[in-house]
Amino acid sequence: MEPVAIVGWAQTRHAAARPDANYMELAFEVVEALHARLGTGPRDVDTMISASSDFHDGRTISNMSIQDAIGAPLKSESKVSMDGAFALSYGWARVASGAFDTCLVIAHAKLSEGDQAAIGNAAWDPITLRPLGFHEKAALGLQARRWLDAHRLPETTLARAAAASYARAATNPNALRRDQPDADAVGRSAPVADPLTALEIAADADGACCLLLASRERARRFPGPKAWLRGVGMCYDAHSPGARDLADSMALRRATAEAYRRAGVTDPRAQIGPVETVDRSSCQTLHWAESLGLCDPGRSLEFLEQSEGARYNASGGALAAWPGFAAGLVRVVEAAERLAASDRPLALAHGANGALGQAHCVWILGKD
């Protein structure tokens, strides 16, 4: 397989709402910024992969509307209706196969448009759960309660984890939540789904993100730091939350093990520097750290609050801004951006799809 590098990237400043731009304009915004940064143009891109949701965009085949914005006419283009980290695997395969030398991967979402509870409800089983009005935030509460009970931890654990994430987000100019509430303020925010409060659930955002992949030969033409795709792992769990233990994540553990194997990672705590995860709640911030093998079970809050944990979601993670299917690609970009300054050779970026992390994608990035 051809070695593949991320040679450039761009993302929007995530906002609660972007009434000034439709999603086609958001896509154009980041692609234009990418080309300006690299000194390239549409002619330098061989193929494109996008990640978006027809439900969120309010139309079928939503990628057709961004063709002109991303420079896709008369070129090979395809879409993944999943988190952007999974779209990256599609783009990687196109370049690694030798079929293309460059690939633009882009993801976008405008969660300010549409009834997110109704959209989330449509993802559930139509017989058992959808008639109940069940939605993602309610499910996040069930997961958080099960995880706390499994580890015999108090609810304040979730507030402290959220406060740690917001302290990191304060230095991220692209984050939506940057106001640094402390654990007490987080715990006092409006209850949403027991035991989770409003500030313990990721903030819906409008935003877009893109990156450019290049083969080894083509990558040499681009100046500046690069992040090489060293390994990837993906795994799916059962769709119904009642069919899995919500205090465990079999899919993330298996995806992680595969990514580590492919990248030759034998000691992730020593080898991996920046880590970025799609955490839809402060419970997932802690839960995913354990499943990634970065800390011992039940010790993730201690890990997060110590200096060693500063490399974990240094951007604030998805808790500070969740732009739908763009969230995973944002994690890849954040990890790649921090890798060059890291004293460790590798970074990890995580994406998740489906309710409560039904599917997971783990990427290991390496320096030149």
Structural contact between residues 336 and 204, judged by C-beta atoms closer than 8 angstroms: no
CB atoms within 10 A of CB 225: 16
Domain spanning 4-115+206-219, CATH architecture: 3-Layer(aba) Sandwich (3.40)
What are the distances in angstroms from CA 312 to CA 168, 213, 227, 305, 315? 9, 24, 18, 10, 8
Cβ contact 158:282 at 8 Å:
yes
pLDDT score for 129: 87
Peptide bond into 154 cis (omega under 30): no
Instruction: Say which DSSP state 262 is in.
Output: H
pLDDT value of residue 257: 98
Distance CA 241, CA 259 (A): 25
Tokens 């706390």 identify what position? 148
- Could you tell me the two tokens for 70? 């991303």
Classify each residue of 25-56 as buried b or exposed e, where b means 16 or more C-beta atoms within 10 Å of its C-beta.
Answer: ebbbbbbbbbbeebebeeebbbbbbbbbbebb
pLDDT score at 281:
98
Q: Is 236 helix (H, G, I), strand (E, B) or coil?
A: strand
Phi, psi for 172 (deg, rounded to 5): -100, 110
Q: Of 51, 331, 367, which Cα lies nearest the Cα of 175? A: 331
pLDDT in tens, the chain (368 residues): 889 999 999 999 999 999 999 999 999 999 999 999 999 999 999 999 999 988 888 888 888 889 999 999 999 999 999 999 999 999 999 999 999 999 999 999 999 998 888 888 888 889 988 898 888 899 999 999 999 999 999 999 999 999 999 999 999 999 999 999 999 999 999 999 999 999 999 999 999 999 999 999 999 999 888 999 999 999 999 988 889 999 999 999 999 999 999 999 999 999 999 999 999 999 999 999 999 999 999 999 999 999 788 899 999 999 999 999 999 999 999 999 999 899 999 999 999 999 899 999 999 999 98
Backbone angles phi, psi at 30, to 5 degrees: -80, -35
Closest alpha carbon to 222 in 70, 30, 40: 40
Rounded to whole angstroms, the Cα distance separating 127 from 129 reads: 6
Question: b/e for 140-174, b at 16 or more Cβ within 10 A?
Answer: bbbbbbbbbeebebeeebbbbbbbbbbebbeebeb
The per-residue pLDDT for 28 is 97
Per-residue pLDDT tens over the stretch 4-33: 999 999 999 999 999 999 999 999 999 999
Contacts for 83 with CB less than 8 Å, ≥ 6 apart: 51, 107, 278, 325, 327, 328, 329, 351, 352, 353, 361
CB 313 within 8 A of CB 238: no
Which pLDDT tens digit goes with each residue over 92-137?
999 999 999 999 999 999 999 988 888 888 888 899 888 988 888 9
Q: What SS3 class is residue 195? A: coil
